[in-house]
Structure 1
């Protein structure tokens, strides 16, 4: 029998801090402001041209002198924040290096300005981009600024005497403001919303976000969105269906597991693409309990589910020409008298059995029931699962790449290209045939972990792939190292929850599914 749990922050709305407010974004025609706070991109070597030259002239040469004194060279990703230059309260210089102008570069510029804006008391910051040639430049700058200025302060008590930072307006001034504004409102603002949705879910503590409240937040986010339907498979239905894998993970928690499917139809009768995310809302490791150090991080072990759901939120809100399904395999992995034991044999929805040698390898366990269900119900042509799955992925590629596994070379190429374009990069790792031998079990179809700590990420991928229909194009993304930024922020990813996967999947749909349709 499950115990009733009353979340500590059930009335969390009363704890929202006014400091959580972020700058409103606006796109306007290019014009040089007379005063205030201004930001400008500067190419390698700080050439005397464009907005920089105009600001330097307004300051009587003070800006150029300050740049020389600081040794600022305009290298890509470098920032020089100068207070009180000439008539301006603040001048922010963002280096772009010698790279060509691309959407990703523009988003990085916007992101760095957004991050600086969080620490500025200026009521308005003006970001200048005088270059023509890319009508949607302002939209990409705005997307970067929205992502870069993300903060989560809901549970901080405001300090009345503290200066008000990070509030007001951030205005992007570009040559083609009309086209940029239209692109922002109809398209890229929805991508930013999908990212914020995923970041919020991942940052919330485990006593606020658990399977039931994850579902509630998702229903709220998709309310009124056209072409969307939501299905929730609860614990009782899981028992009827024989979802032994998901049940085995959730059985030790007072919070019952749920399987959430958000279906968006934007392409008629075309077979859908399914994004399947691991949604362990808190992972203690179960009976194979984790060490106490840094166990708090396991509140974001649902990063894959948040990314899959956030991506479909972006696709649906921007009206993408695709049929897409977000599948969130939601459970809380806790130790309890009823919890799964190491050595248990579990029968899954797909019919296969596995020997559960390690209850802390629970992500792959919930994913196989989720994969079996969406294949049975929706017949997807393509299935991409995403999970904070293994520590070995972190060791293999660090926090620069997600680990990508697939037997489909064309799908790999498309995903790698989408990662490079979106800034959420992937590195292919091997799926060797010998992994099947490593997961052999003497009493079940296979084991959920290997022995000796070898090829942990690859073994996890192989285990998941055993439940994928060979006719379905499939890729597995292990993003354990990418879910949370700890030490160094990226231009569009401040410290904390990254929402890695949302922009990757959006870009993948744009370039591999929507683009061919537009060409036709």
Structure 2
């Protein structure tokens, strides 16, 4: 990641960035923002003269570069900060880091009295906007390695920068895990990455169930979905349990490391990005690692059921009956509705054995999510109004997007099966809603304290946009960490 430093006395001014805000309603001219650290002589007047000539509007993320050969600075950038809130600074940070990738060092002079949450947004934008994932040579790799944030009182913003760096580092980890091609990424590989991360963080415990333990304990959904692959399934149980914690949260994330659809095989266009089908597991694991890094005073137990849904003579069949952890059974008429089968096991285990205060699951579960809400918004389901509102507030503050969807009880009859307790993939329509209702059946006494997010669409981005980069977005990590920080 970029090295970001707070300083009251910037030493390098070769490339200097100054913030500019839009004019007031009756004045179209933008204006430079007074900064806590005085720029070199004459720079403020030069910026004021440049703004009307360049018609610089000062919208969040707007940029203008002025080259000054032989001068100090030799390159001056105007950065639009729009409303100057956290979201605007996050967008501005991402735009800046892309614009100066040919530089090795940049100094950004921050406004006087800038809010801590604005600094947090800026740092997240810088670190997430600079993210790249490649396994081959990268001839266009950015040169930028250092960003100095010039501010009169650096100590006042140290905590905001630390939180932003941790949040961005964990979001980048979730992106790395999700972007990795499935020729590398099987369930055991995912386990190894988590074990490596846990080794660097005191206070975390990791338990991994392999196929033999899954069979002995009755995790039939995970075993069914993973049965067709040469790479056997796993179940990660990761626990952060600080002594001062009064609240216990269980997080569950879908971890299908590749999804062919099984015997109900997907067409090639729908299959080629199925390395992202474990983005839910990546998000909850990264959020738990982030909670441990920040020493948040809340207990977090994360379950990540991992499996490859492949086609072979050992694959489960449409029409099979699966017996889940705890004994409930599912009729599986569509092997491409596999994610809910592994989640059902994990949810049932959480209810029976972990017994948390709150139960949250994230999953790239249905294409219906994108049909209903587009490509940037997760579908949130819960019968608990307060829990839903609290998490939605945190998600939005973090710069992510979700929308609460209904859980209509009159749809539950569609889950009926002639052979089993439940039908896992009804065909009556409302695919994301029915999937959520199916999962609710496994939440037992925690049903009133459970929340599900279908985040299939926002887990991936087809182009760079603000702090998002093309590929995996790490969706959910920022929102979960923001929410966990409100609990005690």
- TM-score, scaled relative to structure 1: 0.86
Q: Is the Cα–Cα contact under 8 Å of residues 187 and 234 in structure 2 kept in the other structure?
A: yes
Task: Within 5 Å, give how 1:151-300 maps onto structure 2.
Answer: 151-153=132-134, 155-159=135-139, 165-185=142-162, 187-268=163-244, 270-300=246-276
Partner of 1:11: none
2-side partners of 1:266 and 1:143: how far apart?
Answer: 26
Partner-residue secondary structure (3-state), 1:503: helix
How well do the aligned residues superpose, as a CA RMSD in angstroms?
A: 2.4
Partner of 2:456: 480
Q: Is the Cα–Cα contact under 8 Å of residues 138 and 174 in structure 1 kept in the other structure?
A: no
Partner-residue secondary structure (3-state), 1:380: coil
Q: Is the Cα–Cα contact under 8 Å of residues 36 and 152 in structure 2 kept in the other structure?
A: no
Residues 287-325 of structure 1: per-residue CA shift (max 9 Å, x gap): 111111152211011000000000001000110000001
Partner-residue secondary structure (3-state), 1:50: coil
Aligned residue among 23, 34, 41 for 2:19: 41
Displacement after TM superposition at 1:217 (Å): 0.4
Partner-residue secondary structure (3-state), 2:442: coil
1-side partners of 2:439 and 2:33: how far apart?
Answer: 54
Q: Is the Cα–Cα contact under 8 Å of residues 13 and 107 in structure 2 kept in the other structure?
A: no
2-side partners of 1:127 and 1:108: how far apart?
Answer: 15
Partner-residue secondary structure (3-state), 1:332: strand
Partner-residue secondary structure (3-state), 2:458: coil
Residues 251-290 of structure 1: per-residue CA shift (max 9 Å, x gap): 0111100010110012446452011000001111111111
Q: Is the Cα–Cα contact under 8 Å of residues 224 and 316 in structure 2 kept in the other structure?
A: yes
Partner of 1:143: 124
Partner of 1:134: 115
Partner of 1:470: 445
Partner-residue secondary structure (3-state), 2:444: coil
Displacement after TM superposition at 1:70 (Å): 3.9
Q: Is the Cα–Cα contact under 8 Å of residues 61 and 96 in structure 2 kept in the other structure?
A: no
2-side partners of 1:343 and 1:362: how far apart?
Answer: 13
Displacement after TM superposition at 1:376 (Å): 2.2
Q: 1:88 aligned to 2:70?
A: no
Task: Within 5 Å, give how 1:300-319 maps onto structure 2.
Answer: 300-319=276-295
* Change in 2 beyond 3 A, CA 1:272/1:410: same
Displacement after TM superposition at 1:148 (Å): 1.7
Q: Is the Cα–Cα contact under 8 Å of residues 254 and 363 in structure 2 kept in the other structure?
A: yes
Partner-residue secondary structure (3-state), 2:184: coil
Partner-residue secondary structure (3-state), 2:4: strand
Once the two structures are overlaid, the 10-residue window that deviates more, 357-366 or 49-58, is: 49-58
* Change in 2 beyond 3 A, CA 1:47/1:207: same
2-side partners of 1:356 and 1:305: how far apart?
Answer: 22
Q: 1:113 aligned to 2:96?
A: yes
Partner of 1:25: 4
2-side partners of 1:105 and 1:265: how far apart?
Answer: 35
Q: Is the Cα–Cα contact under 8 Å of residues 114 and 145 in structure 1 kept in the other structure?
A: yes
Q: 1:125 aligned to 2:103?
A: no
2-side partners of 1:168 and 1:420: how far apart?
Answer: 30
Partner of 1:343: 319
* Change in 2 beyond 3 A, CA 1:136/1:173: farther
Partner-residue secondary structure (3-state), 2:31: coil
2-side partners of 1:365 and 1:178: how far apart?
Answer: 49
Aligned residue among 381, 388, 392 for 1:412: 388
| Count, aligned residues | 480
Displacement after TM superposition at 1:246 (Å): 0.7
